[in-house]
Amino acid sequence: MITATPRKDLLLMGIFTLAVLTMPIWLAPIGASYPDLLQRFAIFGIFAIGFNILFGLTGYLSFGHAAFLGVGSYTAVWSFKLLSMSVVPAVIFGVITSGLFAVVIGYISLRRSGIYFSILTLAFAQMSYNLAYSVLTPITNGETGLQLSLNDPRALDSLVGVTPTSGIPPTNFFGIEMSGYSGFYFCAILMIIGFYISMRIFRSPFGMMLRAVKSNSNRMSYTGLNMRPYTLTAFVISGMYAGLAGSLMAVTDPLAGAERMQWTASGEVVLMTILGGVGTLIGPVIGAGVIKYFENIFSAINENVLHGIFDFLPEILQDGAVAVLSLFVGEGWHLTLGMLFMLIVVFLPGGMVEGFTRIYSRIRNKNNKNNGEAGSVGSAEVQPGE
């Protein structure tokens, strides 16, 4: 059995940190080490880690978390326009504002559970999306999206005497430009911090209460626990993670559009979490990575690339292979993702992490047998660590 201990968690944290920081190196062979994609891995990793605190621990499935993503983005861009091109206030305000939104939306939505909760959050997000296009145009700049301009006030910047010499100044972290790899490392470090916080929550009494909500909310009340503040806190924390992710989108690319709040974006984070492993620590990060990888790499493969790959085959076979496979790449990458998703849900309800755990325990069982020990990996045992 794998039980979480402080030492094992430290080890996990170390491995995670190392793996994230060296992503530009080990992702190079699969063509995923360019900064733009790396940034997206980190940003959606944060989004999914936060979503999992709500969905994975309490079981409350929000279909509206993209709203907080959008709120974070708009807030960050406004911070760039009004205050400073420094990313520090942008990120702080992005997190706070989305947290406040989450308090209101959570307070109302959490009066219901199950499908009704999901529908309420979906309704709120779609409402925000439509408002961003219509009534809120003065704040969101409607369809065009909110952009920076040369004559933005940038009050803090001009206060310290920073005036742009030519063009719109770049977003920066104490002078370091937030584009390319430095942008990735900024997002990556925030993801590592976000992962650490999530780990603390998972191991804490608070996290245990959130699991109790998911497992049996009746027993929870008759045990003297007030469920509502627990679920609301989890909702707000996950909303703040989404806000952080949204503001980081603006940090690496300073514009914000309403499409960020679309229900498809809310659905995407659900897929990421389920694909990686609901309620596991590392699963959502893996799920986010896999989906973003498919989106960027598979969608870029076209028939020419396929012809190149199958060049060694005789022409008829080559055409056949390309005709079949081209269904799954390019525009058709959703098909591949959809099939992968179905396979995972049907055969590995615990997501990819469950797959890894199974392989791990099979190897360990084999080793135990070889050593003549009693291989006792009881399937009934709890495996909170991963």
Partner 1 sequence: MGILEVRDVNKSFGGLKALNKVELDVEEGSVHAIIGPNGAGKSTFLNCLVGLLIPDSGSVNFNGNSLLGIKPHEINQAGVSRVFQTPEIFSDLSLLDNVVIPTLASRDGAFKLNGWKRADQDSEIIVRAEHMLEDVGLIDKRNMHAGSLSRGDKRRLELAMCLVQNPKLLLLDEPTAGMSRADTNNTIDLLKRIGERGITKVIIEHDMHVVFSLADKVSVMAQGTVIAEGSPEGIKGDPRVQEAYLGGAHL
Judged by CB under 8 A, the stretch of 73-81, 131-139, 222-230, 309-317 that binds partner 1 is 222-230
Could you tell me the smallest distance in angstroms from the CB atom of residue 114 to partner 1? 17
Of 257 and 283, the one with the shorter C-beta distance to partner 1 is 283
Q: Can you give the length of the chain in residues?
A: 386
Which candidate, 203, 267, 192, places its Cα nearest to that of 20?
A: 192
Given the rule CB under 8 A, which of 24-32, 209-217, 305-313, 326-334 is the region that contacts partner 1? Answer: 209-217
The whole-angstrom separation of Cα 11 and Cα 386 is 12
Q: Is residue 1 part of the contact set for partner 1 (CB under 8 A)?
A: yes
* Residues from 186 through 205 that contact partner 1 (CB under 8 A): 200-201, 203-205
Q: Is there a contact between 114 and 186 (Cβ–Cβ < 8 Å)?
A: no
Question: What b/e sequence results for 349-373 when a residue is b if at least 16 CB atoms lie within 10 Å of its CB, and e otherwise?
Answer: ebbbbbebbeeebeeeeeeeeeeee
Q: Tell me the C-alpha distance between 291 and 285, whole Å.
A: 10
Q: Work out whether 214 is an interface residue with partner 1 (CB under 8 A).
A: yes
Nearer CB in complex with partner 1: 193/323: 193
Which listed range, 4-12, 78-86, 179-187, 346-354, lies at the site for partner 1 (CB under 8 A)? 4-12
Q: Judged by CB under 8 A, which of 96, 225, 321, 340 binds partner 1? A: 225
Interface with partner 1 includes 208 (CB under 8 A)? yes
| 374 belongs to the binding site for partner 1 (CB under 8 A) | no
Contact flag: residue 376 with partner 1 (CB under 8 A): no
CB of 65 to partner 1, least distance (A): 20
Minimal distance, residue 180 CB to partner 1, in Å: 35
**Per CB under 8 A, which of residues 230..249 are in contact with partner 1?**
230, 233
Radius of gyration of the chain (CA): 23
Phi and psi at 235, nearest 5°, equal -65, -45
Give residue 135's identity as a one-letter amino acid code.
Answer: V
User: Which residue lies nearer to partner 1 by CB, 131 or 225?
Assistant: 225
Nearest approach in angstroms of CB 71 to partner 1 is 23
By beta-carbon proximity to partner 1, the closer residue of 203 and 307 is: 203
Q: Which of 4, 12, 92, 348 binds partner 1 (CB under 8 A)?
A: 4
Residues 6+ apart with CB under 8 A from 289: 41, 44, 45
CA distance 141 to 123: 22
60 binding partner 1? (CB under 8 A) = no
d(CA 378, CA 361): 10
The burial of 14, by beta-carbon neighbours within 10 Å (0-12 exposed, 13-18 middle, 19 or more buried), is given as: exposed
**Cβ-proximal residues to 194 (8 Å cutoff; 6+ apart), any chain:** 45, 46, 49, 50, 241, 244
> Nearer to partner 1 by C-beta: 186 or 230?
230
Q: Which is nearer to partner 1, 206 or 341 (CB)?
A: 206
What residues make contact with partner 1 under the rule CB under 8 A?
1, 3-6, 200-201, 203-209, 211-212, 214-216, 218-227, 229-230, 233, 378, 380-382, 384
